[in-house]
Amino acid sequence: MNDRILDFAIRYGFLILLVGLIVYFSLAAPGFFGPLSAAFVLQSVAITGILALGVTCTLVVGGFDLSIGAVATSALMLSAYSMVILEHPAIVAVALCLVMGALVGLINGLLIVKFRVPDLLATLGMMFLLIGLQRIPTQGNSISTGMTLSGGTVAEGTFSAAFLWLGRHRFDVIIERLLPMPVVIFVVIAVLIWLFLGFTRHGRLMYAIGSNARAASLVGTPVNRYKVIAYMISGVTASVGGILLAARLGRGDIASGNNLLLDSVAAALIGFAVLGAARPNAFGTAMGALFVGILLQGMTMMNAPYYTQDFVKGAVLVVALVFTFYLSSRRTGTGH
């Protein structure tokens, strides 16, 4: 009987907690339960969620990408630089950012598989490199139309309407202009990564590499190639997040995106607890991002001080991880 209860707690505990949180905030904070509030929560987690899905791919192959926040802010600055200073059209700016993300992922992957640099150190080094690199072209200034450049000239370029549409457009669902474009992109990426990891041969091989890379290579799996691909997926999804952030802000803000890394990693790690997976998975990551978003939106609507939010986020993450790994070890220990 105890085993059955433990099994149920591991499998459904997190989702029950999520529903409980929604019910609590709906009763405690007027206006929390409604389409506008739901759209706001989804918009607040869309970019974090996209980055978290990229991290999930690296976690699957037994890696970890700490450079995602820096890739996202680099894409933010690169898209702004491309359109405002170089006066490129939106399509060129987007293409540059995606190529940059893929290139960073490729370099991360090669550092790890060819040069044997541990993944945390390789991606941490890349993070510092990118944070420095994105500030050099503008001497650490944010990028906006009409800014004075170092030579005394004025930046004439603007963010094109097509580019801003990516971050600001809202679709009519139930009520007018409800569903933000970034949320649609987040859902599409989540479904694609969920299908890729869970239902394709490539996804199954990536999980096999994560659980035992040596055994996977012995049966002929190209371990290094899959690891590099995982980091490239992470780089591209992070640059998509940066593009959407730039499109929402309408300027290359050097300070925005500071919390992206921590929030994304939290979402991906909380995802381990969803449905008792005890392993990285796309559905869990999306639920983890949603959980963090609901928690922060509810706290905000109840006028909780902003400085308590990181503490609560950290506490939830620790509880979710203890829940996942301690209970899962108990379950395997009881031979269940």
pTM value? 0.93
CA distance 277 to 137: 44
CA pair distance 68, 66, nearest whole angstrom: 6
DSSP letter at 147 equals P
pLDDT at residue 160, rounded to an integer: 92
Enter the tokens of residue 206: 């990536």
Residue 132: CB atoms within 10 A of its CB come to 11
Residue ranges of alpha helices (H) inside the chain are: 2-28, 35-60, 68-80, 90-113, 119-133, 161-168, 181-199, 201-211, 213-218, 223-249, 260-270, 282-301, 309-333
Measured between alpha carbons, how far is 37 from 33 in angstroms, rounded to an integer? 7
Residue 106: its pLDDT value, please?
98
Distance CA(216)–CA(233), nearest Å, equals: 21
End-to-end Cα spacing for the chain: 12
Which pLDDT does position 67 carry in this prediction? 97
Contact call for residues 317 and 266 (beta carbons, < 8 A)? yes
* Separation between Cα atoms, residue 83 and residue 162, nearest integer Å: 12
Q: How would DSSP label each residue in 99-131? A: HHHHHHHHHHHHHHHTS---HHHHHHHHHHHHH
Tens of pLDDT along the chain (336 residues)?
677 887 787 788 888 989 999 999 999 988 888 888 889 999 999 999 999 999 999 999 999 999 999 999 999 999 999 999 999 999 999 999 999 999 999 999 999 999 999 999 999 999 999 999 998 988 888 898 888 887 778 888 999 999 999 999 999 887 888 899 999 999 999 999 999 999 999 999 999 999 999 999 999 999 999 999 999 999 999 999 999 999 999 989 887 877 899 999 999 998 988 887 789 999 999 999 999 899 989 998 888 898 898 898 888 888 888 877 776 676 666 544
Distance CA 49, CA 284 (A): 11
Cβ proximity of 271 and 287 under 8 Å: yes
- 8 A C-beta contact, residue 75 and residue 58: no
* pLDDT for the residue 336: 47
Q: Check residue 331 and give its pLDDT.
A: 62
Q: How many CB atoms lie under 10 A from the CB of residue 55?
A: 29
Instruction: Walk me through the domains of the chain, giving residue ranges and CATH numbers.
Output: 34-323 (1.10.3470)
Q: Is residue 33 left, alpha or beta, with left meaning phi > 0 and alpha meaning psi from -120 to 50? A: beta
